[in-house]
Every structure is written in C-alpha cells, then in structure tokens.
Chain A
Amino acid sequence: MGSFQSLPDNHQYRTLSQNTGFSLEQIGILHNRFKQLSQNEETLRRDDFKTIQDLESNPIRSQIIEAFFDKRNFQKDDVGSAQEIDFEEFLTVMSYFRAPTHHITEEQREEMRRAKLRFLFNMHDTDNDGTITLEEYRHVVEELLSRSGALGMETAKGIADAAMLEVASISVGPMAPDEFFEGITFEQFLKILKGVEIETTMHIRFLNMDTTVLCK
C-alpha cells in the first residue's frame, strides 16, 4: 500500500522496467509526473486529467483519456473500462509510445508495430467487437473535426464514408450490391496504415532522453 508513497523502490522499478522496457531513470521521472497528476494519491482518475490545461484544446481529448482507462491496453487480457488506474497501468499505456531502440530485430520491430497499431485500433473500436464500424469511424472523424463547427460535422460524415469505402475496396475488392462490409478488422487496419511508419512516428522523444521539463 504505502510502497509507492515511499522513496522509489528499486526492486519495484526493476520489475516495471522489465515489463515495459523503460529505463529506471525514465520510470522515476514518469512516477514523479504520476504523483503530480494524481496529487500524491496512489491511483489516477479521469478527473485528474482535467487539470492538464494544454489537454483541453485537444480535439480528441476524451478519446485519449479513455485510452488510459481502457483495460485492453493493460496487456492483461481484460476488457472493459477501469475507473482508476495505478502507476503500473499508467506506465503500460505509456510504453506504447516508446521508440524502437537501435538494435532490435525485424520481428521485434514488427511486434512493436502491431502493439502500437493495436493501441490505435482499440481507441477507435469502442465497443470492442473487433471491428471498426462505420459509426465508430464517423465518430473518430467527427471528433477530429470537432473544432470546426457545423461545416466540419457535415463533411466529417462524407470523409468517414469515403475512408470506409476505400478500406473496403482495398481489402475486399468488388462486392455485390447486397453484400455488407462489417467494418475494419485489425488485419485490414494494419494493411491500410502500412504507409505510415508507425513504429517511428508514434513515439514521444521525451522517453529517449533523460532530461525533463516538468510542466503543469
């Protein structure tokens, strides 16, 4: 109970480091940040994220916060949404944003890619049925354009539809008029995002260097 409150316990950190791949120093820094956000409590709640001012102007703020509480991202084969998360879970979610180290094998790179894309997929697939349906995709685009007023909302539907059609045509090919395309599965998701080099794009530089600027 009180172990997290006391001085950083190297043993705890070492296990965390092994699980998530962060260095001990990075874990220390993130722990400080965690304590700052949670106001020195042991767990983090959704409300704590509201204290971050810069996050308020982010259009996909709610989705990002949800991703932190999404049990699918904790790598424990659990589903559903948590009410509060502890430091280990916080760190696990952060570990999706690590950059590939210099010497990793091709398979490890592929695995990292899949993990990151899985994280993205989970962010879109809110009802956890394994596919991103048209409604869910529309929601994604609407959120992205949520700062653009009514004009954005109307076009959002069109954009989402166009995107969905594109995925359908690439992955399934010609379909008869009465066939139905369920939604984007994870494999298809991997395919359409092949062009975006996820493992290098989706990372925070902070985690590579040891200097920090802790801001409010």
Chain B
Amino acid sequence: MEMKMFIVVLGLLVGSLMPIGGAASSPDTRGEGNHSSYIKKPFPVLSFDYDHVRLPFEISLWVLLASLMKLGFHLIPRLSSIVPESCLLIVVGLLVGGLIKVVGEVPPTLQSNIFFLYLLPPIILDAGYFLPIRPFTENLGTILMFAVVGTLWNAFFVGSLLYGVCQLEGVDLKHVDLLSCLLFGTIISAVDPVAVLAVFEEIHINELLHILVFGESLLNDAVTVVLYHLFEEYSSVGTITVTDVFLGIVCFLVVSLGGIVVGAIYGILAAFTSRFTSHTRVIEPLFVFVYSYMAYLSAEVFHLSGIMALIACGAVTRPYVEANISHKSHTTIKYFLKMWSSVSDTLIFIFLGVSTVAGPHRWNWTFVIMTVLLSLVARVLGVIGLTFVINKFRIVKLTCKDQFIVAYGGLRGAIAFSLVYLLDPVQFPMRNMFLTAIITVIFFTVFVQGMTIRPLVDLLAVKKKQETKRSINEEIHTQFLDHLLTGIEDICGHYGHHHWKDKLNRFNKKYIKKCLIAGERSKEPQLIAFYHKMEMKQAIELVESGGGSKLPSAMPSTISMQNIQPKKTPQDRALPQLSKSREEEIRKILRTNLQRTRQRLRSYNRHTLVADPFEDGWSDVLIKRKKIIEMEKKISQMNNHLTVPAPPPDSPTVARARLSSDPQVWGTKAVTESIPTIKVDLASPQSPDPVNEFGSKASQPKESKEDGGLMMKAPCPAKEKKEKDKMAYEDDDDKEPQRLTRCLSDPGPAAEEDEDEPFLP
C-alpha cells in the first residue's frame, strides 16, 4: 500500500519535470500587450510566471526526487540489503535521464563547478569532522604510503600501459599522446571518498580497514591535484623536463601542506569564535559550517588541496568546539552534516546516472576494456607491493584478507568524472572517449565491486566492526597505558612516538586549550571529559526511557555501591543499627526539613532502585512519576531558550552548612555513617548561569558526596524531582544502577562512536 502511493507520487514528480522544462521555453504572452496598446484588460486574478522561480524550483525538485528515492529504497524490503544504495541511485539517474531524453529535452549534466563547490564539500566535511583521530594517526604512515605512492604508481602504470596499447596497430588511437594518457591515468587512479563512504558504510567492516581505505581516498587528493595540473599544463607543449618534475614534487608538498595549514588556521579561528558563543547558542553550528566552507574555498583559490583543508579544519575544530558548544548545538551540527552529506551523496549518484545518458560519448572497445583491466591490475599490484614494504614497519601486519579488501575497496566515483568534464575539448579531442571510459570504470567499480564486496566480506570472514560501547575501564586503561609507555620510553632513553605524542598533549593542554576553550572546561582532563559524556548519555537515556518508574519492573536486582564498598571493620559493626521506627522518624524529619528549605534533591540514588522500590508504597511511586512528568514539561519549555542554565558551583562549606542546619539531622550523622545506606544528596538552588555549564556541574556533585551525607533509607525525598534544567545531569552515584540496569537488560540506544571519541588521544 505504501509502495503504491509512493510510486504514484514519484510518477507525478517525474512527470512534472518534463512539462516544466517545456514551459520554460514557452513564450510569455502576458507582458506583450501592455506597451503596444492602452486597452484596459481585465485584472488578472491568476497568472502563471514560472521563469522567475525556475532555478530554485528545479533544484528543489531534484533534491526532493533524490530524497524520495532514498526513502523508497528502504521501503522495498530486501533490496537495500543486496544492492548498495549508490547503485540504485545511479540506476534511477539513468532512468530519469532516459525519460528526459525520450521527451525530447536535453538532460542536465553534472556541472563540475556545481560538483566541486556545492556537492562535494558537505560530504568531505562530514568525513573530516567525524574522523576517528586515534586510528587515523596510528595508521598514518600506512595511509600516506597508499595515498601517495599508491596513487602515483597507479597513475603511471595505467597511463603508460594505455599509451602502449594506443600505439598498437589496428587500433585507431594513434592521436592519443603520452601526456594525455598519463593525465587520464591520473584521473582514473584516484580512489573516490564519496563512493568508498557510500559502500563501506553499509558493510560495517572493522575499523582498521575502514580507516585505511577511507584515509587513502581522502589524502590522495593532493597527489591527484598536482598530477592533474602538471599534465594538463604541459600536454599542449608535449614534453616534460626534469625541472618540471622537480617543480611538481615541490608543488605537491606545497599543495598538501598548504591545504592542511589553511584548514588548521580556519579550524583554530572557528574554535576561538566558539569560545564566545555562550550567549548566542543558536548560531553556534553556523560558525563551524561557514569556517569550514571558507577553508575549502580559500584552499581552492590557490589551487591547494581543498579536501585536505576541509579535513584539517574539521579535525582541528572538533575537540575545541565540542568543549565549548551546548549539547543541542552538537546534535545540530551532527545532524546537519549528516543530512547535507546524505543529500549531496544522493544527488551526485543520480546526476552521474543522468549524465551518462546525456554526456557525449565515444565508445572505443579497446580503450575502454583496457582501461578497466589495467586499473584493476594496477590496484592489486600496487596494494600487494606496498603492503610488502609496509609490513616491515607495522606491528599489526596486514594479512592477505586485509590486502584483498583494501584492493577491492578502491572504488572510483564522481570526482574522476568531474575532472574529465573539466578538460578542455579543444585541447583534448579525445575527451569524449575518456569520458566514456571513465564512466565505464565507475560503473564497474560501483556496481560490480560495490555489490559483491558485502558477500565477499562475509565469505572471507573479515573482522567486522565491534559494536561495543567504549567502557570506562578501557578508557582508564588506555590512558594508563599511554602514560606507562611514555614513561618506559623515557626510561629507555628513546624518543619514540609515545614521547612526542605526550609532548604534544602537554603542549595542547598548557597553551592551546587555554586559548580556545571557554572557562572551566579548558582544564578538564580527557578522562573526566569522557566520564561526563558518559554520564550525560546515561541521564538522557534515563529520561527517554520514561524515568525510573519503569526500571524497577524491568530489573530484578543489580549491583550498587553497597556491594563494592570496602568491608566495615568489626568495630563499626558493633554499633547498633537503626530500628525501623527510628528510620521512619528520621525520614519524616528529613522530608519536612527539606521541603521547608525548598531545596531540590537529586533523584534516584542507587539504593532505592536496587532494594525494593515498592517497599514504601504506591504513593511514592506516584509522586516520583508526577515529578518526572513535570520535569519533562519543563525540559520542553526549556527548548525555547536553547540554553542550559547551570547551578553555580557549591563550596563544600555551603553544602555542609545546609546539611548541618537541622539539629536533628546532625544528630543522626555519627550513627548513620557506618551503615551502608542511602545518601541524600542535596542540590543547590537553581539559578540561570549559562556559562560554566560543565565546569560547575563537575564540582557540585562531589561536595555532597564528600560530606558523607545523610545516610538514610529515605526513598521519598530522595526520589523527588531531578534537576530539570541541567538536562538530567546526575550525580554519578545515581547513574551507576541505571547504567548497570542498562548493561544487564537492554543495550540502550545505539552506540554512537563518533560521540565517544576522546578529544586528543
């Protein structure tokens, strides 16, 4: 039913594309009558003026078509698991292009300008911003080898062999000279990040391979740019001298390093700007986007590598910006990037299909077949050769399976297509032939390799991506190992890469973070940042799961602080336990006191959830539920402001003063300390203070903990409302049982790896 409606809508859309093309060319008769005669015409109630909205209208239609296509694929049950999305989109493009041609219109082609300036940047920014820094830097040597040496090898191998083929008798390709062949080789040898992303995203391969192929596709841009310009410049002249080669090498260094420097500068600017956005949180995402785009454009001005600039900008910006911006802005950035890159990606593939129908072709059997074959062979040989060299320096060697996936995953895509399109047809008469050959290679890699890589991955039992969340233990030990290895290197007297990494981290902490991160968070060490992120996530999960009222039923019992606190000495045990009646008394006192002083309490502590939650009766559960509903209402109200006011930091003395203000409360303190019971943590009164949001939060919960609080079995007051305005940021104690309940019963929301990335590993 859904499918049928969908197809009808689609048909209408495509149908509307045709007449609009036709209507654009139809003459506009309205205006003609006005200046020649002064006959009064009846006032036009409804008129048709398509011309002045033509361009945005058509763009919107295309975007809409692309998005509806994407929707459609996932409605068809089995299709998306067999065929990768990119293939389907190309097919759709072919169909649309065919339709347009049948109607008699000229199908639009993928303009190189539009591609490089509008369609490519969002995808690259998305990739750069969420680049997993740790695996990337660990494998940087390997990635660079593949990107630089591999691409060079591919380009020259394919180019020169094709030239050889062209010189053969019987094939009328004599006019294709060496430099044009080399140029073609360059264009075709570049692994395309768009295609790689599109395919690899769906196969969930392990992190190492993913970062190798993906990193290669990003970093080979510099090589491609330099070689392309080199060959294009000199193909008219016909020869290249040694000087030119030397200049080419210098150019390569300038292009790549220059691109990175430009990106880094803009990244630092963006980070610096974000330091001051605490009062205007709404436009925070805008800064990230605009600065990054400017980095790309600035690099393109000087013919530096725009892709590397964009990657550098995203990677540099991220750790600092994320420390400064609000959680909502972070989500906004993430989703906008994903949305734009998704739309771009879809449009690129559809246009690829349409351009195939449109573009001027010249089919030459030999050339095309040799191209396809040679590019495959070159890729395989290149990977095998390079891995042989690389494995000598790697600890984790690349196995044959890994090599196969790296070779097979070298997909070509729209970048190659656009680069050919940029060629001047006058200077390169064989451009159409190149175009046909490139399209064939692209189709081959995307369809054949793209479709078969998934079953091959399963067949070869290649290690898949581990879906486990990063646990705090692993984080602690990763940090510990970093320091340990640095220490051992210092003892050995060896300036290894741990040593330099540690130095960089310390430099970063001492100088850079102070400049670029606002307020308290600049001093926050990575472990704490990770921990806070984790807590935040748990808190949000908790809110989303409807609060604690659901949890007790789901969870039989779980582990709490009680279970891991060190054993009390026998001396403490000698003290009498509180009797139930006494507890009840104390509970009542607490309730009245706390309500009187109007202090908001932290919610849940571990014990009420662990021990019998219904022990104290239905009324408590009701109160709790009501509080949670109120809190959620307040959160939705808060959304208008998009700010998160935070309580001011509490000094230990203030907290203690509050606790000790009630004499009866104070009296029970000594007795209850020994009993491993509930702590009632008092929260500070609300006050809007948008800055220092995170810094103060961290300092706050620990005060009450250090007090040794009021150790009571007092579930009712303790269960009262959460801190609504803090977006349910909780005391870590309270979070533990929630987290554990998650561990035991329910995996919770899908692990978001990109969010879990530490700042500077």
Contact = CB atoms under 8 A, between A and B. Distances in A.
Interface of A: 30, 33, 36-37, 49, 52, 54-55, 57-61, 64, 68, 94, 97, 99-100, 102, 120, 123, 133-135, 140-141, 144-145, 147-149, 151-152, 154-155, 157-159, 161-170, 172-181, 192-193, 195-197, 200-206, 208, 212-216
A54 to B, nearest CB: 4
Contacts of A149: 523
Contacts of B480: 60, 120, 140, 144
Nearest to B731: A158
Interface string B309-320: 000000000000
Interface string B686-705: 00000000010011011001
B559 A175 contact: yes
Given A174-B559, A175-B559, A213-B494, A161 B483 contact: no
User: Which of A52, A167, A177, A214 has the largest count of B CB atoms less than 10 A from its CB?
Assistant: A177
Given A54-B499, A215-B493, A161 B564 contact: yes
B558 to A, nearest CB: 5
Interface in B714-761: 732-733, 735-736, 739-740, 743-744
B397 interface: yes
A11 B170 CA distance: 72
Contacts of B497: 205
Given A58-B483, A158-B702, A181-B564, A174 B494 contact: no
Nearest to A58: B487
B493 A33 contact: yes
Interface string B521-563: 0011101100100100000000000000000000011111111
Nearest to A158: B732
A205 B496 contact: yes
Interface stretch (B98-106, B243-251, B466-474, B628-636): B466-474
B484 interface: yes
Contacts of A134: 564-566
11 contacts: A37-B491, A120-B481, A141-B476, A154-B706, A159-B531, A165-B559, A166-B473, A177-B563, A177-B610, A213-B494, A215-B494
B673 interface: no
B736 A64 contact: no
A193 B487 contact: no
Nearest to A168: B559
Given A120-B480, A148-B528, A155-B531, 18 more contacts: A52-B490, A54-B490, A55-B487, A60-B480, A99-B395, A140-B480, A144-B483, A151-B523, A165-B559, A166-B471, A167-B473, A177-B560, A177-B562, A201-B481, A204-B494, A206-B489, A215-B493, A215-B495
A159 B559 contact: no
B396 interface: yes
Given A64-B488, A154-B699, A206-B494, A145 B476 contact: no
Given A135-B566, A174-B558, A175-B557, A165 B485 contact: no
Interface residues of B, number: 72
B668 interface: no
Contact of B564 (A36, A102, A148, A165): A165
B491 A52 contact: yes
B611 interface: yes
B395 A144 contact: no
A206 B492 contact: yes
B154 interface: no
Contacts of A49: 491
Interface string B489-512: 111111111110010001000000
B477 interface: yes
Contact of B567 (A61, A64, A180, A203): A180
Contacts of A102: 397
Nearest to B468: A195
A41 B463 CA distance: 50
A176 B564 CA distance: 12
Contact of B474 (A135, A148, A165, A193): A193
Contacts of A154: 698-699, 702, 705-706
Contacts of B528: 145, 148, 151-152, 155, 159
Contact of B558 (A155, A169, A180): A169
Contacts of A169: 558-559, 740, 743-744
Contacts of B562: 177-178
Contacts of A206: 489, 492, 494, 496
B67 interface: no
A187 B149 CA distance: 45
B563 A159 contact: no
Interface string B663-700: 00000000000000000000000000000000100110
A166 B743 contact: yes
Contacts of A33: 492-493
Contact of B472 (A36, A135, A148, A163): A163
B486 interface: yes
B113 interface: no
A174 B397 contact: no
A151 B736 contact: no
Contacts of B472: 159, 162-163, 166
